[in-house]
Structure 1
Amino acid sequence: MQYGLCPLSIVPVRAEANDRAELVTQLIYGDIFEIISNQKNWIQIRIAFDTYEGWIDIKQAFPIEENDFNELKKRFFNCSQDLIEFVETANNQLIPIPIGSNIAATNILQHQFEGQVFNSKTFQKEKIAEIALLYLNAPYLWGGKTPFGIDCSGFTQMVYRICGYALQRDASQQAKQGEALSFIEESEPGDLAFFDNEEGSIIHVGIVLGDNYIIHAHGKVRIDRLDHTGIFNTENKTYSHNLRVIKSI
């Protein structure tokens, strides 16, 4: 098995081995992965954090040894705190990195980082709402995971990661984690609310805030009302999503 890490701010992970293929997720600085296969200038990878698979351009990967891979797996939660920061290369060049980047990778890449690091060894639920608000107004992007473009489950995954907990990548996968609550009144800020379509499939997720509000990625990361029916859009005065379940992680 071969291993690699993401040495750039953001790297697209695609469904197939070409630049026009669907964006399924993103790597951000310091993410590590296993290399499953090769196809010309592309490699198929399995991301260590959530086992998600896809294809990246081989030029955007930095090869690492198995022992470095295993060491970095222990340090998933050494996350940069600011929306955007910089690392400095050995050639004194700057690379911008988004919030949630794994700063533990700087040693291997021989980069210097002087920003704030959130190193959570235990899950800190009380910080979820605070971190979530940092993404407010980030534009929606299918497969995105950064303040410059993010989808609903990428948003919840990144917020929880910064707070020290590993969520899966997709909303339907995240819905299988945690403990279901019987009533919305039992929910606390930081809980996850899941929403389904007419066929009963989970298609959306957001983070519960206090006082019957929710923050979620829909067009942009926004705050709306939450009740027993679902998400009530406060701008157009209609329900945008149907509530399926609220889970406490």
Structure 2
Amino acid sequence: MKYGICNLSTIPLRMIADHTSEMISQILFGDHYKVLQENKEWVKIRLEFDHCEGWIESIQHTEISEDYYDDLNNSETIVTNELVDFIEDEKHRLSSVLLGSRLPFYAEQSFNLLDEAFIFEGNVTSQKRSKASIINSAFLYINTPFLWGGRTSFGIDSSGFTQMVYRLNGYSLLRKASEQATQGEVLSFIEESEPGDLAFFDDSEGEIIHVGIILANHHIIHCSGKVRIDQLDHSGIYNSDLKKHTHKLRVIKKIF
């Protein structure tokens, strides 16, 4: 078994080994993974963070040892808490890192990735935080445009949005809305929910395809076209701009 880590700000994760293939997710700086398959130009990987599988270009693959992979699994997960910031290497070269990127073995404004040392002077987070903090993190993404497979403040999808908001607060969600719906505790009514809980929505065939974060006073923040705030009722999401319901409510989950 081979292993790898992302040393770029973001790498597209594709459904199949082709540049024209659908982007199913994005790997952020510091995310590590197992190599499942490889050829001359592409590597199929499984992310450790959410077990999402897909293909990346071999030229963007940085190999690590099994011991290093295990050390990452056993170390504290510390992530950046700035929309965009920079890390500085030993030669004073700057590289951008995006909100929610992991800084391996971070301590006292520095960290190491393989044999290279970096400085990061921005804000970080690592501890499990309150539901009030979940809401504050969600607002960081307001007006972020929708991007299928996106996980950043430059483009994000509905489950990428909820996953990243929870990651910033010390909790791990799976990648797809249908997968996230298997996590946590089911709530019977909206009235039982608290701001920070998740609401899931399905299509005409009963497949869960959308997720958002519940706010106070029967509102929800979610990504539909962009990260936006809409009304939430027992039927689903009511879009005040379109003056109609756009998503049908399936289930409400309390993650913690």
Indicate the TM-score class for this superposition, using the shorter chain for normalisation. over 0.9
5+ long unaligned stretches in structure 1:
none
Shift of 1:76: 6.2
The match for 1:90 is 90
SS in 2 for 1:135: coil
The match for 2:108 is none
Moved more, 103-112 or 223-232: 103-112
The match for 1:246 is 252
| Counterpart contact for 1:77–1:161, Cα < 8 Å | no
The match for 2:118 is 111
SS in 2 for 1:211: coil
| Counterpart contact for 2:76–2:126, Cα < 8 Å | no
Percent identical among aligned pairs is 49
Q: How many residue pairs were aligned? A: 248
Q: How does 1:124-163 map to 2 (within 5 A)?
A: 124-163=130-169
The match for 2:45 is 45
Cα distance in structure 1, aligned partners of 2:36 and 2:133: 36
The match for 2:226 is 220
Cα distance in structure 1, aligned partners of 2:37 and 2:78: 29
More helix by percentage: 1
Shift of the 173–76 alpha-carbon distance from structure 1 to 2, 3 Å rule, reads farther
**TM-score, normalising length from structure 2?**
0.94
2:126 is aligned with what amino acid? N
| Counterpart contact for 1:138–1:147, Cα < 8 Å | yes
SS in 2 for 1:26: strand
SS in 2 for 1:40: coil
Residues 123-168 of structure 1 show CA distances to partners (whole Å, capped at 9, x for unaligned) of 5333110100000001100000000010000100111111111111
The match for 2:59 is 59
**TM-score, normalising length from structure 1?**
0.96
Shift of the 130–171 alpha-carbon distance from structure 1 to 2, 3 Å rule, reads same
Following TM superposition, where does structure 1 have runs of at least 4 consecutive aligned residues deviating by more than 4 angstroms? none
Cα distance in structure 2, aligned partners of 1:95 and 1:2: 26
Moved more, 91-100 or 200-209: 91-100
Matched, 1:211 2:217: yes
**Residue of 230, 241, 255 corresponding to 1:235:** 241
| Counterpart contact for 2:112–2:118, Cα < 8 Å | yes
Shift of 1:19: 1.1
SS in 2 for 1:87: strand
Residues 5-57 of structure 1 show CA distances to partners (whole Å, capped at 9, x for unaligned) of 10011100001112111101100110000011111121110000111110001
Cα distance in structure 2, aligned partners of 1:220 and 1:37: 35
